[in-house]
């Protein structure tokens, strides 16, 4: 069992970034992407609850200053946000300069407050017209995506400290194998275009969940299936970036020279481990009953928290610097969020002590927000009341104290955490 009172001082380097992550569709409100278009209502149901449109979301489009104030209150030095393509180009070739100016203002304000910016160009949502054309199902739409990148980059090049092209392009329930193959190529072409405007580090995020054979590595069926699932979710991504070779089962290899070394750092969204049970039609549904620690009160599927995923992931990705671009837990009990943050940070630092280079840690998320289908999951360090006023949770104060001192100490634990 995790006992925070047993943790000793965990000190991070002065240059280590502590921050938060957000996504435009999930916090801005009144977006016009395909995720909020009426004809697509009910097409996703990721969280086990009825799908609802984001609507006003957390009204961050209008209240971004309050979001920045929350980040300042938590002593954070990094903030991840996304630019909504559907606002920039609501119709093909029709560019809304006032929307570009809006995002420029947000980035300028973050810089004025001394907060580094991590800018995502595509965080799952995109214009309805792009979706109707097939989005990433075909390489024919690459010119549309590159037009968007080339439109926005001259305006944000000097304001984006880190750039993420695509978010979680490896997720099976989001993208088909063909889409994943295509999106790696979209990333590669966008990477080289972005580099014409800035020397800022560029990457795309992977949703990394550790795969472990349910019966142990000695059970061949579980082991082989775990390795297979790991390849089509994780290793195909790393292999492609390292070699320029996209290898997927039942698909001819795709050679994309532009892809090799087109990520300056590994951008990792990581939350859970998945136990792979070859005896089940849904092989990630098994848990160890004695140690099961739910990742979500409203589950997408059965998942487990294992802080050691940080160490194992960092040892796998030792060839590039790593940024934890998302890590968090959905729970009503705020004490559990503090346990999660502390455990993950201690494990992260252990990986660093073993030789991994880690740029920083971005907690998901700043606010309880719309989580790709509903408002039920509770991931935030702060929440919004019925008037959309922001309120920092105790876990936000806890995280802020760690960020201020770049250190998790017994004193911080005793001050904020009560069993």
Q: CA 169 to CA 120: how far, in whole Å?
A: 13
Q: CA 130 to CA 124: how far, in whole Å?
A: 12
pLDDT in tens, 289-324: 877 555 555 444 445 677 889 999 999 999 999 999
Per the listing, tokens 């994309």 go with 256
pLDDT in tens, 317-366: 999 999 999 999 998 899 999 999 999 999 999 999 999 999 999 999 99
Per 3-state DSSP, the chain is made up of helix, strand and coil in percentages (nearest 5) of 40, 20, 40
- Which pLDDT does position 287 carry in this prediction? 84
Q: CA 290 to CA 378: how far, in whole Å?
A: 25
Q: CA 122 to CA 82: how far, in whole Å?
A: 7
Q: What is the pLDDT along the chain (419 residues), one digit of tens a residue?
A: 678 999 999 999 999 999 999 999 999 999 988 877 766 655 544 445 567 889 999 999 999 999 999 999 999 999 999 999 999 999 999 999 999 999 999 999 999 999 999 999 999 999 999 999 999 999 999 999 999 999 999 999 999 999 999 999 999 988 999 999 999 999 999 999 999 999 999 999 999 999 999 999 999 999 999 999 999 999 999 999 999 999 999 999 999 999 999 999 999 999 988 999 999 999 998 888 877 555 555 444 445 677 889 999 999 999 999 999 999 999 889 999 999 999 999 999 999 999 999 999 999 999 999 997 889 899 999 999 999 999 999 999 999 999 999 999 999 999 999 87
- Which pLDDT does position 290 carry in this prediction? 76
> At 384, which helix (H) or strand (E)?
strand 382-384
- Which pLDDT does position 45 carry in this prediction? 44
Q: CA 150 to CA 358: how far, in whole Å?
A: 30
Q: CA 165 to CA 198: how far, in whole Å?
A: 14
Closest CA to 366 of 409, 399, 340, 339: 399
């Amino acid at each position: 069992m995790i006992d925070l009172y047993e943790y000793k001082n965990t000190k991070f380097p002065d240059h280590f970034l502590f921050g938060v992550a957000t996504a435009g569709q999930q916090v801005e409100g009144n977006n016009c992407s395909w995720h909020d278009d009426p004809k697509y209502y009910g097409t996703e149901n990721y969280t086990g609850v009825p799908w609802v449109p984001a609507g006003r979301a957390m009204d961050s489009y209008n209240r971004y200053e309050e979001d920045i104030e929350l980040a300042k209150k938590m002593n954070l030095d990094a903030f991840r946000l996304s630019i909504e393509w559907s606002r920039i180009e609501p119709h093909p070739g029709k560019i809304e300069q006032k929307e570009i100016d809006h995002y420029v203002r947000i980035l300028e304000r973050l810089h004025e407050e001394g907060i580094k910016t991590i800018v995502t160009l595509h965080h799952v949502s995109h214009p309805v017209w792009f979706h109707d054309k097939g989005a990433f199902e075909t390489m024919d739409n690459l010119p549309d995506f590159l037009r968007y990148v080339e439109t926005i980059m001259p305006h944000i090049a000097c304001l984006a400290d880190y750039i993420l092209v695509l978010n979680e392009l490896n997720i099976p329930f989001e993208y088909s194998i063909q889409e994943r193959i295509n999106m790696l190529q979209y990333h590669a072409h966008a990477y080289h275009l972005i580099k014409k405007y800035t020397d800022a580090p560029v990457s795309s995020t992977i949703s990394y969940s550790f795969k472990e054979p349910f019966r142990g590595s000695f059970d061949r069926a579980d082991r082989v299936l775990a390795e297979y699932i790991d390849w089509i979710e994780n290793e195909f991504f790393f292999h492609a970036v390292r070699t320029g070779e996209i290898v997927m089962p039942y698909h001819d290899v795709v050679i994309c020279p532009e892809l090799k070394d087109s990520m300056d750092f590994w951008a990792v969204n990581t939350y859970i481990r998945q136990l792979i049970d070859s005896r089940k039609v849904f092989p990630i549904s098994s848990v160890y009953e004695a140690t099961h620690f739910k990742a979500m009160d409203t589950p997408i599927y059965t998942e487990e928290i294992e802080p050691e995923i940080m160490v194992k992931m960092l040892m796998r990705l030792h060839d590039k610097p790593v940024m934890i671009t998302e890590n968090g837990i959905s729970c009503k009990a705020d004490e559990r969020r503090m346990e999660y943050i502390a455990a993950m940070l201690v494990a992260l630092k252990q990986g660093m002590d073993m030789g991994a280079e880690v740029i920083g840690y971005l907690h998901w998320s700043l606010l309880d927000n719309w989580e790709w289908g509903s408002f039920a999951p509770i991931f935030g360090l702060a929440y919004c009341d019925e008037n959309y006023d922001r309120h920092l949770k105790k876990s936000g104060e806890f995280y802020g104290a760690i960020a201020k001192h770049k250190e998790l100490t017994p004193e911080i634990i005793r001050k904020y955490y009560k069993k």
